[in-house]
Amino acid sequence: MSQLARTPKQIGNIIRRKRKILNWSQTELGSKAGVRQETISLIENGNPAAKLETILSVLATLDLEFRVDERSKGQASDIEDLF
């Protein structure tokens, strides 16, 4: 299922949901992705300072991928209700 994210917080929510589906702790995900638990927490909480390279590594660990597409009509706030 495809999920739309337009903000760091929305990306973090997607990562958190997938981690919980896999029944992994933040520590387990961090270990598998090669980052600290604190970094996973920052990403899941939408910290905009997280490096793209780190986010891509975490996504790959969760068997997710990053895609760039044409922006659909509407605003980020319109999709907040989906999350």
Number of domains making up the chain: 1
**Looking at residue 5, what is its pLDDT?**
84
**Looking at residue 48, what is its pLDDT?**
87
Structure tokens at 76: 């980020």
Q: Cβ(45)–Cβ(12) under 8 Å?
A: yes
Does 28 reside within a domain?
yes
Does 49 reside within a domain?
yes
Q: Cβ(39)–Cβ(31) under 8 Å?
A: no
**Looking at residue 1, what is its pLDDT?**
63
- Domain containing 30 equals 8-65
At 18-49, the pLDDT tens digits run 999 999 999 999 999 999 999 999 999 999 88
At 52-70, the pLDDT tens digits run 999 999 999 999 998 888 8
> What CATH number is associated with residue 52?
1.10.260.40
Q: Is the pLDDT of residue 6 over 90?
A: no
Does 16 reside within a domain?
yes
Classify residue 23 as left (phi > 0), alpha (psi -120 to 50) or beta: left
Does 72 reside within a domain?
no
Q: Is the pLDDT of residue 79 over 70?
A: no
Does 2 reside within a domain?
no
